Amino acid sequence: MYVAVKGGERAIDNAHRLLADTRRGDRAVPELTLDQISEQLALGVDRVMSEGSLYDRELAALAIKQARGDLIEAIFLVRAFRATLPRFGASEPVDTGAMAIQRRISSTFKDIPGGQILGPTFDYTHRLLDPQLAGSCDPAEPASAEASDAPTPRVTDILRQDGLIEDSPVAADDAPVGDLTREPLNFPADRDLRLQNLARADEGFLLALGYSTQRGYGRNHPFAGEIRFGEVDVYFEAEDAGFAVPLGSIALTECQMVNQFKGSATEAPRFTRGYGLAFGQSERKAMSMALVDRALRASELGEDVKAPAQDEEFVMSHSDNVQATGFVEHLKLPHYVDFQSELGLLRKLRADFEQAAPQMQEAAE
């Protein structure tokens, strides 16, 4: 009779075996390789690297394979691994102005120094399912030209020369680099920690929040000043060497939003900024992040804080999909004990109600 809580150990082992088998699927179908995932599901890999906060294509591809394509589960796997890695220090700030650009667009100027470069984008494709892709296909070689060595200054830097946009805050050289994975978060949080939180945040959550600002919930009149994607070098100031040594390059997507801002009696009107940055080619993420970053600056810029996207505690406390999925899904765990207490309470309340009912009836009459 009393079997309800026995046998858990075998059940778990068998569930894991079944999961491994289900993950593999039909053995007649060739198994995915990590290279295939990394090369052909590259944007999924980029997302897992971004929200997993770990720049490693191979591990991200492994996580996607292990997670059966569930990207949040893959992000979780990467995060759990990352948490065990030692921390040597922080790199020098990367110079996105010196990016080896693969794509660069501005919606604020028709032409910009260095030119607009469409690069690999879905933007102007017709979303028609392509039956050719169902089989194997061998697309034409891409068009190519000599790489340009013309400088590609950031659009916001051009605006800044005329004083039309606020300065980007520059941290002091010896200012500590905030890291919410190493220090507990306190509110109100500084913008560096907010940006770190947003960079790790769930793409869908930021997309919805960014969208809500466009629909009037904390509207801030954004323009996509510039979106650029390409490779940047990472330098690390090694104390022993006494100078910054190059560690390698990483692919980044950067979005600089240009937003409206009314001036005040003491300040001339000028544009304000929202900033987004993500690993790999992650434009939706970088743009959403920039919208939410700008929205979260509401109180700093003297705006009313009324909309969810402007509410720092609300946004930062709920943006992390690993935390969110954990707490939502933990409802699957047993709650017998609490439920038992609630049953007891409910029965007592119902008994009290039954007892009181005739008197209440009388009182009403």
Partner 1 sequence: MIEASYNFAYLDEQTKRMIRRAILKAIAIPGYQVPFASREMPMPYGWGTGGVQVTASILGPDDTLKVIDQGSDDTTNAISIRKFFAKTAGVATTTSTPAASVIQTRHRIPETTLHEGQVLVYQVPIPEPLRFLEPRETETRRMHALAEYGLMHVKLYEDIAKFGHIATSYAYPVKVAGRYVMDPSPTPKFDNPKMNDCAALQLFGAGREKRIYAIPPYTQVVSLDFEDHPFTRYRQNAPCALCGAEDSYLDEIVTDDRGGRMFVCSDTDYCEGRRAQGHTGTESAPMEAADA
Q: Which residues bind partner 1 (CB under 8 A)?
A: 1-2, 4-9, 11-12, 58-59, 62, 76, 79-84, 86-87, 180-188, 313, 317, 322-323, 325-331, 333-338, 340-345, 349, 352
Q: CB–CB of 165/109 below 8 Å? A: no
Q: Say how many C-beta atoms besides its own lie within 10 A of residue 285's C-beta.
A: 29
CB 209 within 8 A of CB 292: yes
Q: Which is nearer to partner 1, 211 or 327 (CB)?
A: 327
Q: Which is nearer to partner 1, 301 or 351 (CB)?
A: 351
CB of 34 to partner 1, least distance (A): 9
Please state the closest distance from residue 66 (CB atom) to partner 1, in A.
Answer: 12
125-157 burial string, b = 16+ CB within 10 Å, else e? eeeeeeeeeeeeeeeeeeeeeeeeeeebebbbe
Cα(85)–Cα(18) distance, integer angstroms: 31
Nearer to partner 1, 200 or 294 (CB): 200
296 phi/psi in degrees, rounded to 5: -75, -10
Least distance (Å) between residue 317 CB and partner 1: 8
Which residue, 48 or 158, has its beta carbon nearer to partner 1? Answer: 48
Report the residue number, 105 or 322, with the smaller CB distance to partner 1. 322
| Nearest distance, CB of residue 96 and partner 1, angstroms | 28
Nearer to partner 1, 46 or 320 (CB): 320
Mapped onto helix, strand or coil, the DSSP state of residue 341 is helix
* H helix count then E strand count, the chain: 12, 4
CB of residue 65 to partner 1, shortest distance in Å: 12
CB contact at 8 A, 170 and 247 = no
Residue found under tokens 């907010």: 194
Nearest distance from C-beta of residue 41 to partner 1, angstroms:
18
Residue with tokens 């090369």: 39
